[in-house]
Amino acid sequence: MSKNEEKVGLGALGEIDRLVHEPARLAVMALLYVVESADFIFLMNQTGLTWGNLSAHISKLEEAGYLSVEKSFKGKRPNTTLRLTVQGRQAFRRYALQMKQAFRDFEA
Amino acid sequence: MNTQLDLKEMERKAFRATYQDGLWDLYFGLIVVCMSIFVYRPASGYSPLNIVLALCAFGVAFGLFWAGKKFITLPRMGQVRFGAKREKRKRTMIIALSVVVLIQSLLFVLQLIAWANPGLGERINGLIRDRNVMDLVVASVGALIVGPSMILVAYFRDFPRGYFIAAMIALAVFLMIYLNQPVYPIFISMLIALPGLVLFVRFLRNYPLHREEALHEQK
């Protein structure tokens, strides 16, 4: 591999969205990508994250505009419903494509 | 190590997670018990009370299932809404089940007609003279009506244990009609409910109630 090709590969990796790249957030985004919406407890059970950890990651994703958070009550019980925004879905798709591309480059 | 992020598998896993509480198994087990007790043909003959009691028992079974989902499963597991593909499968299942119910209703109407016209009933009985063969035919038809509808549910709801339940329910209906003894279907209902009970206990252990979110919401 020439030095120029190496630079191109590293450059592509540098463009990867770090917000999505973090494993816990990637798990949250992947799960929300395949469903329409899920509540906080379902996400916690499926990802295996603790309440505090998940809460922190959700805040970051919400700040970035990738997640929409809807707080409501189911009877007397508070409920937090989460779904990916259009921007979040695009970011996840873009991330998947970039990672695919990066690994394709490594294989070549 | 397979590190591929399989989104389809992830969605399926999330969907099947909703069956981890074992409530479907317990519900169908209860349905078979109700059916065995109230629908079998007693020596004194059928009475409207049988049908009323059976409907009440089915209602109670569904009420227990609904309450279990609402008050036990949802607070522990959380809620999820799946995408358009699952909704489409659900709609297809409803259409397919409607066709099955229509066929069942037609058979029921035919039976009512036969009851209302003793001559017709005798003529049908005359086609199959052997009483044993007649019972065998009726039992097989009953099992063939109930079994496939449960197979449809298992297929469209992506519920693998549903195939086992379908086979067990079909067998229960067959034995109930053919041997006219409630004890065999009750035994089969235990075979259906037992895995559900194990799953339910495991579910309660693995999915404790979460209080943190309630505290978080109050902040």
Euclidean distance between CA atoms A8 and A96, whole angstroms: 18
**Structure confidence at residue A12 (pLDDT):** 64
A-chain residues within 8 Å CB-CB of B78?
38-45
Q: What is the ipTM of this complex?
A: 0.79
Helix (H, G, I), strand (E, B) or coil at B183: helix
A32–chain B nearest CA distance, Å: 9
Q: Which of B168, B124, B144 is nearest to B25 (CA)?
A: B168
A37–chain B nearest CA distance, Å: 5
Each domain of chain A, given as residue ranges in start order, spans: 3-103
Euclidean distance between CA atoms B145 and B127, whole angstroms: 22
B194 exposed, middle or buried (CB, 10 Å; 0-12, 13-18, 19+)?
middle
A57 sits in the region (left: phi over 0; alpha: psi -120 to 50; else beta) called alpha
Please, are residues B14 and B78 in contact by the beta-carbon 8 Å criterion?
A: no
Euclidean distance between CA atoms B200 and B73, whole angstroms: 9
For the segment B7-20, what is each residue's pLDDT rounded down to a tens digit?
A: 888 889 889 998 99
What is the percentage of chain B residues whose pLDDT exceeds 70?
A: 84
For the segment B11-55, what is each residue's pLDDT rounded down to a tens digit?
A: 898 899 989 999 999 999 999 998 888 766 666 656 777 778 888
For the segment B66-104, what is each residue's pLDDT rounded down to a tens digit?
A: 999 999 999 999 999 998 888 899 999 999 989 988 988
Average pLDDT for B186-200:
95
Cβ–Cβ gap B5/A41 under 8 Å? no
Task: Choose between B200 and B108: higher pLDDT.
Answer: B200
Euclidean distance between CA atoms A26 and A61, whole angstroms: 10
**Structure confidence at residue B111 (pLDDT):** 72
pLDDT band of A4, cuts 50, 70, 90: very low
Instruction: Report the residue of chain B nearest A42, measured CA to CA.
Output: B78
At which residue do the structure tokens 């003793």 appear?
Answer: B118
Each domain of chain B, given as residue ranges in start order, spans: 13-210
Please, are residues B182 and B36 in contact by the beta-carbon 8 Å criterion?
A: yes
What's the whole-model pTM score? 0.80
pLDDT band of A6, cuts 50, 70, 90: very low
At which residue do the structure tokens 């090709």 appear?
Answer: A5
Average pLDDT for B144-157:
89
Q: What Cα–Cα distance (Å) separates residue B92 from each residue in A26, B97, B154?
A: 33, 9, 13
Whether A92 shows a pLDDT value over 90: the answer reads yes
Q: Which of B167, B184, B187 is nearest to B176 (CA)?
A: B184
Helix (H, G, I), strand (E, B) or coil at A79: strand
pLDDT band of A107, cuts 50, 70, 90: low
Helix (H, G, I), strand (E, B) or coil at A81: strand
Classify domain A3-103 at the CATH class level: mainly alpha
pLDDT band of A18, cuts 50, 70, 90: confident
For the segment A54-80, what is each residue's pLDDT rounded down to a tens digit?
A: 999 999 999 999 999 999 887 777 889
Kindly state the DSSP code that residue A75 receives in the 8-state scheme.
T
Interface membership of A46 toward B (CB under 8 Å): yes
If one counts every other C-beta atom within 10 angstroms of the C-beta of residue B2, the result is 5
For chain B, how many residues are written?
A: 219
